[in-house]
Amino acid sequence: MNIIALQTDIVWENKPANFDKVHRLLASASPTPGDLAVLPEMFATGFNMNIPAVAESHNQATELFLAQTARDYQIFLVAGLVAAGTDNKALNQAVVFTPQGDLLLRYTKIHPFSYADEDKYFAPGHELTLFNWAGFTVCPVVCYDLRFPELFRLAVCRGADLFVVVANWPKRRKLHWETLLRARAIENIACVVGVNRVGSDPNVSYSGQSQIIDPHGKILALADDQETALVAAPDLDDLKKLRERFPALRDLKPQFLGNI
Q: Looking at the annotation, which residues are catalytic?
A: 41, 109, 143
What are the helix (H) ranges across the chain? 15-28, 51-54, 61-73, 118-121, 149-157, 174-188, 236-245
Beta bridge partners of 141: 165
| Residue pair 32/188 in contact by the 8 Å Cβ criterion | no
Between the CA of residue 235 and those of 17, 239, 250, what are the distances in Å? 35, 6, 21
| Residue pair 132/36 in contact by the 8 Å Cβ criterion | no
Report residue 159 CA to chain centroid gap.
18
| Residue pair 186/213 in contact by the 8 Å Cβ criterion | no
Distance CA(210)–CA(20), nearest Å, equals 20
Distance CA(198)–CA(203), nearest Å, equals 13
AA letter at 79:
A
Q: Which residues contact 176 (CB under 8 A, 6 or more apart)?
A: 147, 169
| Residue pair 36/212 in contact by the 8 Å Cβ criterion | no
Q: Is 9 helix (H, G, I), strand (E, B) or coil?
A: strand
Distance CA(66)–CA(191), nearest Å, equals 24
